[in-house]
């Protein structure tokens, strides 16, 4: 057991705050507009806002112009079927070179069968159910930059989540991405890193922080803080004065509970 005797003034205040029970944590809005006005008992991630053309079946009530996320058919061999969020219709776009979980800025960056996630700026696989997703990922409705479901309906346009490990992110998340907790689905997913801040620095969203770190508020403002799993010994918390603390809602990945390095 590590000693708690070396806590400074600010740390001691934080210890008093946390000792009363599982603290409530502010979380950041998923589309990158900064911390929400409410509180949450778990860290969550934030993505990035933006507008790109992407894919879904249907043409806003008319006959499908092409088949969701696929090459061929109405599209050229070098194209894929995509969904235009501005017109609410399918259209053919150039199929990009990037594979699943790669950072993207537009849907044309992603290969056939993938879509550039509007929130997290990562190529995600288009799916009909969890059976289409690998590694235990969920198949969830695609959302636009305002966290609203992309038309036309809940069963028409879904994307696979990564079910990544937030402590390591890799695999499946690749370079320039991190693993964050999605507020809407409660699962972990890959998102593009926006700032690469180390633990201890102020943040607005978890994508501001380096992989293995979440943006949470222990009572002193949103700060990049390490994920951890060793609640008994806290061997995975690098700061000798910190412990692996439980979140109030106890998020888990593949059955393993995840906590944060703090003063609990």
Rounded average pLDDT per 10-residue block, the chain, 264 residues = 29 32 37 28 28 33 61 81 78 90 91 89 90 90 78 70 91 92 83 92 93 89 93 81 86 91 86
pLDDT at 64: 53
In this structure, the number of other CB atoms found within 10 A of the CB of residue 120 comes to 30
Do the strands 188-192 and 177-181 form a parallel or antiparallel pair, or are they unpaired?
A: antiparallel
CA 51 to chain centre: 18
pLDDT at 152: 56
Q: Please indicate, yes or no, if residue 62 is contained in any of the structural domains.
A: no
pLDDT at 71: 66
Indicate whether 142 and 205 sit together in one domain. no
Per the structure, the complete domain to which residue 141 belongs is given by: 79-160
Q: Please indicate, yes or no, if residue 186 is contained in any of the structural domains.
A: no
Domain boundary among 139, 160, 181: 160
- Structure-block tokens of residue 157: 């346009």
Q: Please indicate, yes or no, if residue 96 is contained in any of the structural domains.
A: yes
Q: Please indicate, yes or no, if residue 66 is contained in any of the structural domains.
A: no
Strands lying side by side in the sheet with 123-127: 114-116, 123-127, 158-160, 139-141
pLDDT at 219: 85
Q: Please give the Cα distance from 32 to 222 (Å, whole number).
A: 13
pLDDT at 62: 45
Q: Please indicate, yes or no, if residue 22 is contained in any of the structural domains.
A: yes
Indicate whether 84 and 140 sit together in one domain. yes
pTM of the model as a whole: 0.73
Q: Please indicate, yes or no, if residue 61 is contained in any of the structural domains.
A: no
pLDDT at 8: 29
pLDDT at 198: 93
Provide the total of helices (H) and of strands (E) in the chain, helices listed first: 1, 14
pLDDT at 153: 54
pLDDT at 72: 67
Q: How many domains does the chain have?
A: 2
Q: Please indicate, yes or no, if residue 106 is contained in any of the structural domains.
A: yes
Domain boundary among 114, 134, 160: 160
Q: Please indicate, yes or no, if residue 67 is contained in any of the structural domains.
A: no
């Amino acid at each position: 057991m590590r000693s708690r005797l070396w806590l400074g003034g600010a740390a001691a205040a934080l210890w008093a705050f946390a000792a009363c029970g599982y603290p409530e944590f502010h979380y950041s809005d998923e589309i990158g507009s900064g911390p929400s006005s409410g509180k949450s008992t778990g860290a969550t991630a934030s993505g990035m806002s933006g507008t790109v053309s992407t894919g879904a079946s249907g043409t806003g009530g008319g006959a499908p112009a092409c088949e969701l996320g696929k090459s061929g058919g109405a599209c050229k061999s070098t194209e894929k079927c995509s969904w235009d969020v501005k017109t609410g219709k399918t259209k053919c776009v150039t199929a990009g070179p990037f594979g699943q979980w790669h950072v993207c800025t537009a849907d044309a960056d992603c290969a056939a069968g993938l879509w550039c996630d509007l929130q997290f700026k990562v190529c995600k696989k288009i799916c009909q159910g969890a059976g289409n997703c690998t590694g235990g990922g969920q198949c969830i409705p695609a959302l636009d930059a305002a966290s609203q479901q992309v038309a036309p309906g809940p069963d028409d346009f879904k994307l696979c989540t990564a079910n990544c490990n937030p402590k390591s992110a890799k695999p499946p998340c690749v370079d320039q991405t991190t693993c964050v907790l999605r507020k809407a689905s409660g699962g972990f997913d890959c998102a593009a890193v926006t700032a690469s801040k180390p633990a201890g620095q102020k943040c607005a969203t978890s994508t501001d922080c380096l992989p293995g770190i979440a943006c949470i508020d222990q009572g002193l403002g949103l700060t990049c803080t390490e994920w951890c799993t060793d609640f008994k010994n806290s061997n995975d918390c690098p700061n000798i004065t910190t412990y692996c603390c439980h979140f109030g809602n106890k998020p888990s990945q593949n059955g393993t509970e995840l906590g944060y390095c703090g003063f609990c």
